[in-house]
Structure 1
Amino acid sequence: MAASGQENDKNDNNHELDLSLLDELDLDTLTLIDLIDSLLSMEEPGSQLSVNAGYISQITSSGRDLDFRQYGFNLGVGYFHKSGLFANVNGFWYSDFDPNYGLTAVSLGYLGFIGKKVAYLGSYDHSFFTAEENVSLTNSLNGTVIFDFAFFEPYLDYSFYFGRGNTHRISPGITLDLKKRNWLIFESISLRPTFSVIFGSTEIVNTKLQSTDDQNFNRFLSFRPRLKEFLESNPTQEQIDVLLRVYPRLQEFLAQNGENVFGLMNYGFSFPLSVGIGSTSLVFTYTYNIPEELPGELFELSPNDYISLSLYYKFKL
């Protein structure tokens, strides 16, 4: 589960507001499946410490990118105890936030197994944002169930986000596990094509730009027609939160009220290719999203894609 933009006014239409801060913690479903596979392959699961670094070419939230571009990096450390308890700390840097270091995410949870075919986990996550005043949702409770049927791994994720308000995310998915051992210089290589859908509730915000005589602000908007269009298209509260982190001064000129809605949000396809040598793993992922409009969501959504790269090093304890 794991943010860009152009700094010149003339390039601002390519600038990404992204949303995904709350959805993209490092301990995502595919990372969990890798962990579960490695544990199941042991006669007796052991404890491990891992460090990771990652890059993502475009941040999205529930499959939405809003035609704005923003890339990001993350660095983190995770600990898994053989009892099933785990903890993760990750820091996130975003290309167009001010300050660029925008988030520290902490996750505490438990991973358990029912026989050899079912894994389950629960976790509590808290996000420490550099600019907390512009963020509504900073906590989440998460649950995941993963079924292992040889090459076929269906799963179900549920997350409840809360803070100033709350929202839900439900994501069923299917992963195909294709792997080979001892190929060329690699001890392992795997491809995990995954299809998932996201259902969720969120607050659709009716926004209105209040008229102002502030010439600097009016000039600022005149160079950003896409931004103005977005503000007038009933964005979600999560989108407003991230927008205010990029353009905090907008808060002075926005009048807004919201309505909570639930529905289908996204169809997602991802293709993670993982190679391993010893304790080191490199994961390259291509993701393609087809977002769906929620009731009352007026902003025109279009398919988007991005790539991500993650490097992991594990210490067996």
Structure 2
Amino acid sequence: MQKLTLLLSLLLITGLLQAQTRQQAVTDSLARKAREILAEAEAALGSDSTIALIDSLLAAPATDLSKKSQLALRTSYNSNITSAGRPFEVGKYGLSGGATYYHRSGLFADLSGYYSQQYDPDYFLTMTSVGYMYTRHKRWSLIGEYTRYFYNLSGSSTYVAYNNNFTVTAFAEIKKLNFRLDYSFYFGDKQAHRLMPGIFLNIQKRNWHKITRISILPSFYVLAGTEQVTTQVPLAKTILGMIFRQRHGLPLFETQTHTVYGIMNYSLSLPILVTVRNWTFNTSYTYNIPKALPGETLTTTDGGFLSLSITRFISMR
């Protein structure tokens, strides 16, 4: 009888372990889904769009920026979905549109919407941003921005860990060489930090035929960051200990959350900006080299994607 009881207990423990494995797989799947959703937001806040906006604004003398406000209307396309350089849905494109109002004082506000084939419904995200842009110094500029994400998603597998973001971006210029440093803090149900230093060249050709300006910006970025990892840890160290806890109705596992930090991605980018009067056309190819955080298993490899955008600038009083 004791042997039968022991056998049944072992079978029960085995079943619980298998159930725990399945639950951990579901948890991992939800975590990946959350990163996929954040992927779109990170792409929306990508390096090239910020550079394009600053480059276009700085094309005018500083005195003009202090006297005139700007309204920027834009639309863009990404050939696949990436986050921290990690392609989630290769061949699934994304579209976005938005408007940015830049006041001559340096304050700005932005409203953007995003469409992607991989979500249901396809229109899945609206973003609102407010911030301040200091661009009056010849050699450096600074941006502070708060962004709120409003998701249009359905289903239990669409858990979103982050719905707020605060980003500070600094630019420094030494002739044609430019340095950039981004710090981003994502928060909501969880918290994450991103630090992205970068360097790029600003090669320009002005007044060529009917083209006001062509800017070529070969860039290199390193992305480091944190992620909160949740795991289920057994409370008993031995089979007998697990049987004891099971017989007395005690929990077999506890949930532990810890934060890991490290390099997440290396990125090479080649944006080409063509400005014709008040229109800016941005074509960019980005090649990503993803890196795993400590304890993380990556299922993706190095790869690149193409992005296109059109921006119309309207001068306002």
TM-score, length-scaled by structure 1: 0.75
Query: Out of 22, 35, 40, which is 2:41 matched to?
Result: 22
Provide the secondary structure at the position in 1 that maps to 2:284: strand
Query: Out of 90, 108, 114, which is 1:86 matched to?
Result: 108
Specify the structure having the higher radius of gyration (Cα).
Answer: 2
The one-character-per-residue Cα deviations of 1:265-289 (angstroms, maximum 9, x if unpaired) are 0100110111111111111000000
Q: Which residue of 2 aligns with 1:286?
A: 285
Whether the aligned pair in 1 keeps the contact of 2:85 and 2:289 (CA below 8 Å) is: yes
Q: Which residue of 1 aligns with 2:125?
A: 103
Matched, 1:125 2:147: yes
Query: Out of 128, 131, 134, which is 2:159 matched to?
Result: 134
Give the fraction of aligned pairs with identical amino acids, expressed as a percent: 34
Whether the aligned pair in 2 keeps the contact of 1:26 and 1:90 (CA below 8 Å) is: no
Whether the aligned pair in 2 keeps the contact of 1:151 and 1:178 (CA below 8 Å) is: yes
Whether the aligned pair in 1 keeps the contact of 2:52 and 2:282 (CA below 8 Å) is: no
Q: Which residue of 2 aligns with 1:252?
A: none
Q: Which residue of 1 aligns with 2:227?
A: 202
Q: Which residue of 2 aligns with 1:43?
A: 63
- Are residues 257 and 302 of structure 1, via their aligned partners in 2, closer, same or farther at CA, if it must alter by over 3 Å? farther
Whether the aligned pair in 1 keeps the contact of 2:80 and 2:89 (CA below 8 Å) is: no
The gaps in structure 1 that reach 5 residues or longer are: 1-16, 208-255
Whether the aligned pair in 1 keeps the contact of 2:81 and 2:88 (CA below 8 Å) is: no
Whether the aligned pair in 2 keeps the contact of 1:88 and 1:108 (CA below 8 Å) is: yes
Q: Distance in 1 between matches of 2:146 and 2:186?
A: 10
The letter of the residue matching 1:279 is N
The one-character-per-residue Cα deviations of 1:77-127 (angstroms, maximum 9, x if unpaired) are 110001000011010000120000010011100011463211111110001
Q: Distance in 2 between matches of 1:47 and 1:84?
A: 9
Q: Which residue of 2 aligns with 1:239?
A: none
Provide the secondary structure at the position in 1 that maps to 2:55: helix
The gaps in structure 2 that reach 5 residues or longer are: 1-35, 233-254
Query: Out of 25, 31, 49, which is 2:52 matched to?
Result: 31
- Are residues 92 and 202 of structure 1, via their aligned partners in 2, closer, same or farther at CA, if it must alter by over 3 Å? same
The letter of the residue matching 2:63 is E
The one-character-per-residue Cα deviations of 1:239-284 (angstroms, maximum 9, x if unpaired) are xxxxxxxxxxxxxxxxx86532110001001101111111111110
Provide the secondary structure at the position in 2 that maps to 1:22: helix
Tell me the CA shift for residue 204 of structure 1.
Answer: 3.4
Q: Which residue of 2 aligns with 1:193?
A: 218
Tell me the CA shift for residue 59 of structure 1.
Answer: 1.4
Tell me the CA shift for residue 203 of structure 1.
Answer: 2.3
Tell me the CA shift for residue 36 of structure 1.
Answer: 4.8
Q: How many residues align?
A: 254
Whether the aligned pair in 2 keeps the contact of 1:19 and 1:64 (CA below 8 Å) is: no
Provide the secondary structure at the position in 2 that maps to 1:23: helix
The one-character-per-residue Cα deviations of 1:137-173 (angstroms, maximum 9, x if unpaired) are 0101110110022211101000000000100000000
Matched, 1:152 2:177: yes
Matched, 1:172 2:194: no
Whether the aligned pair in 2 keeps the contact of 1:268 and 1:287 (CA below 8 Å) is: yes
Whether the aligned pair in 2 keeps the contact of 1:292 and 1:301 (CA below 8 Å) is: no
Q: Distance in 2 between matches of 1:174 and 1:36?
A: 20
- Are residues 18 and 123 of structure 1, via their aligned partners in 2, closer, same or farther at CA, if it must alter by over 3 Å? closer
Q: Distance in 2 between matches of 1:258 and 1:291?
A: 24
Tell me the CA shift for residue 37 of structure 1.
Answer: 2.4
TM-score, length-scaled by structure 2: 0.75
Whether the aligned pair in 2 keeps the contact of 1:18 and 1:65 (CA below 8 Å) is: no
Tell me the CA shift for residue 34 of structure 1.
Answer: 1.3
Tell me the CA shift for residue 183 of structure 1.
Answer: 1.6
Question: Which residues of 2 match residues 206-285 of structure 1 at below 5 A?
Answer: 206=231, 258-285=257-284
The letter of the residue matching 1:281 is T
Q: Which residue of 2 aligns with 1:235?
A: none
Q: Distance in 1 between matches of 2:111 and 2:226?
A: 27
Q: Distance in 2 between matches of 1:134 and 1:115?
A: 43
Tell me the CA shift for residue 42 of structure 1.
Answer: 4.0
Provide the secondary structure at the position in 1 that maps to 2:58: helix
